[in-house]
Structure 1
Amino acid sequence: MDAAALTRYLETVLATAQAGLTYSRDRFDIERFTALRDATAALLADGSGEPPARIRDWIDLDRHYPTPKLDVRALILDREQNVLLVREASDGLWTLPGGWCDIGESPADAVVREVREETGLEVVATRLLALLDKHKHPHPPQLPHALKAFFLCDVRGGALLRQTSETTDAAYHPADDLPPLSTHRILPTQIRMLCEQVASGALAARFD
């Protein structure tokens, strides 16, 4: 079994256990689903190198019916149609500005906040370009299951920062000459697809 298949299997096991814990009332079933969840967390920790306590904390954050998380990313273009990328402090690789939606936050508000935090720029989200499922694209295997919302954003103010608490650099790059990307966050094919969509004038958002 390859890494992607194993990740999907473990994700399914976790979702099954979490759904069982959400709806079960029988104490024996609850014990069984708890044991299944804890065993899967231990296996994930062993395979990822993460401390078991961190894996359990991540699982414990969602104690209701399991659903995918939502990641938002901003496509920001300069006058020459170069793409704004940030270099992540966590892995030293480049990506579109963005991150997870917070509770109580709309996707558009989230992408505006993420751009401000990671670049210093004030932007407005003007169009939803795509809503993609990570499982349907060749990202490296990673939990949790996530959907990715890509917004076209226009710069309205602020100053481009080269370093923030989350990023170590920010710069515009040609879509056909990209630096090494953080591929669990963004793929080169996705950046080119988004740029082609803007250039074509197509208004309908792409989706999986």
Structure 2
Amino acid sequence: MENNTTEDVMAYIEQVLAIAQSGLAYSKDRYDIERFTLLQQLSAALIAKSQRLDLDHVAGWIEVDTHYATPKIDVRALVLDAEGRVLLVRENSDGNWTLPGGWCDIGESAAEAVARETCEETGLQVTPVRLLALFDKRKHDHPPQVPHAHKCFFLCEPESGRLLEHTAETSGARYFPLHELPPLSLHRVTLRQLMTVVNHARSGKVHALFD
């Protein structure tokens, strides 16, 4: 994301895409369909230019979503070892670190998704034991980005397996002390979020945080 692409601009693009997607879902008039399709194409071009992405790639993931536009669900696992260190994975895409996780797939619950993603990215079989937080990504200090997402943070307990050095999406998995955290992949988790969910897990409170 370039610095001159503001949060307001990305929020505007996101709203335009949502209007276009919902319009395509319900419109019957061919001229309306053409207009909504053009809005999608223009938005894709602007996203691709601002984020230096391939236009066909951006257009492809926009076209995947159909029907009424809703936020996506992103899941993240908080796994702590006996020393209180937090498990992080290094993303291939930007070389920075994050809590294990990713998008929910169709047909699985958020808890199932976080267990699957954690195993794929770390090699560990984990059991989700508590929903710590449900956050609206736009209400937190992430860099501007689409699509709009809600983020589910789960406290997970490791059951078996061993840490993997390389996976299809990651190039490292390690436990870090909270006072020695590496650079974070801020599109995925921020320092404020990480500290918030760790402190909430340690508090023993059973309610989930939310925006």
- Structure 1's unaligned 5+ residue stretches are none
Q: Which moved more, 1:161-170 or 1:102-111?
A: 161-170
Structure 1 residue 201 corresponds to structure 2 residue 204: yes
C-alpha contact 1:175 1:195 (8 A) present in aligned 2: no
Structure 1 residue 49 corresponds to structure 2 residue 41: no
Query: What is the correspondence of 1:96-175 to structure 2 with a 5 Å cutoff?
Result: 96-175=99-178
Query: CA offset at residue 188 of structure 1?
Result: 0.9
CA distance in 2, matches of 1:58, 1:8: 18
Give the TM-score of the pair, scaled to structure 1: 0.96
Q: Aligned residue for 1:15?
A: 18
C-alpha contact 2:165 2:171 (8 A) present in aligned 1: yes
Q: Which amino acid is the alignment partner of residue 167 of structure 2?
A: T
Q: Which amino acid is the alignment partner of residue 181 of structure 2?
A: L
CA distance in 1, matches of 2:5, 2:146: 15
C-alpha contact 2:5 2:50 (8 A) present in aligned 1: no
Equivalenced residue count is: 208
CA distance in 1, matches of 2:76, 2:140: 16
Query: CA offset at residue 170 of structure 1?
Result: 1.0
Q: Which amino acid is the alignment partner of residue 203 of structure 1?
A: V
**1:90 match: secondary structure:** coil
C-alpha contact 1:176 1:192 (8 A) present in aligned 2: no
Moved over 4 A (4+): none
Query: CA offset at residue 116 of structure 1?
Result: 0.6
- Structure 2's unaligned 5+ residue stretches are none
Q: Aligned residue for 1:192?
A: 195
Q: Which amino acid is the alignment partner of residue 74 of structure 1?
A: A
Structure 1 residue 183 corresponds to structure 2 residue 178: no
Q: CA RMSD for the aligned pairs?
A: 1.2
CA distance in 2, matches of 1:7, 1:65: 20
